[in-house]
């Protein structure tokens, strides 16, 4: 018997109904677990890639919470996103050391090259752009983080080369 792959790019994308069904299974597993809201939100974000309103309403109803409580938690933690995210997240450090060494120009170069602003995602959903207050990389400033990789001593003219590594 031939099995089809459900999690790789070779499979057709799941419909919203199928994603909500997966979320319903998660909610059922966590319904009686104290403190379940954050783990369910994390799993939901993994299922959808972000947290659409339909998922937030489903979580609120399934866990017996108000929509405002669920949305409040999502809004409080910057890990959660209510907009679709790119495959790669770029965080440009604007901490003091990076800022003094030119991270503002680096950020402007990312914005110009990608054609998006901070908090946005490229139309092809390849990149999302964010700022960080400090990456703890002051000695190698200015720095940015692409996914989990730190890029150090960046100059604006290096941005196309950095992005090419992730396309």
Domain boundary among 76, 100, 121: 76
Instruction: Please tell me the predicted confidence (pLDDT) of residue 4.
Output: 41
2 Cβ partners below 8 Å, 6+ apart?
A: none
Asked if residue 6 is part of any domain, the answer here is: no
89 bridge partner residues = 128
Same domain as 51, residue 98: no
Mean local confidence (pLDDT), 58-87:
93
- pLDDT tens-digit profile of 123-132? 999 999 999 9
Cβ proximity of 90 and 145 under 8 Å: yes
- pLDDT tens-digit profile of 25-50? 999 999 999 999 999 999 999 999 89
Q: Which CA distances in Å does 144 have to 77, 161, 166? A: 21, 14, 14
Cβ proximity of 58 and 37 under 8 Å: no
Q: What is the CATH number of the domain that holds 150?
A: 3.40.30.10
Instruction: Please tell me the predicted confidence (pLDDT) of residue 66.
Output: 97
Same domain as 143, residue 107: yes
Domain boundary among 76, 107, 122: 76
Instruction: Please tell me the predicted confidence (pLDDT) of residue 85.
Output: 86
Asked if residue 39 is part of any domain, the answer here is: yes
Instruction: Please tell me the predicted confidence (pLDDT) of residue 58.
Output: 97
- pLDDT tens-digit profile of 113-123? 999 999 899 99
Q: Is 134 helix (H, G, I), strand (E, B) or coil?
A: coil
Same domain as 66, residue 93: no
Domain boundary among 31, 51, 76: 76
Range of the domain at 147: 88-164
- pLDDT tens-digit profile of 150-166? 999 999 999 999 999 99
């Amino acid at each position: 018997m031939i099995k089809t792959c459900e999690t790789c790019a070779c499979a057709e994308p799941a419909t919203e109904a199928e994603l909500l069904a997966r979320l319903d299974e998660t909610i059922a597993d966590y319904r009686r677990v104290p403190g379940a809201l954050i783990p369910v939100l994390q799993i939901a974000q993994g299922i959808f890639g972000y947290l659409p309103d339909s998922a937030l309403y489903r979580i609120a109803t399934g866990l017996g919470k108000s929509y405002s409580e669920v949305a409040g938690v999502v809004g409080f933690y910057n890990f959660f996103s209510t907009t679709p995210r790119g495959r790669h997240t770029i965080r440009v450090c604007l901490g003091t050391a990076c800022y003094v060494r030119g991270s503002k120009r680096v950020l402007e170069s990312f914005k110009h090259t990608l054609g998006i602003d901070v908090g946005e995602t490229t139309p092809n959903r390849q990149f999302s752009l964010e700022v960080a207050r400090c990456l703890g990389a002051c000695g190698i400033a200015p720095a940015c983080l692409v996914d989990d990789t730190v890029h150090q001593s960046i100059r604006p003219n290096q941005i196309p080369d950095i992005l090419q590594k992730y396309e």
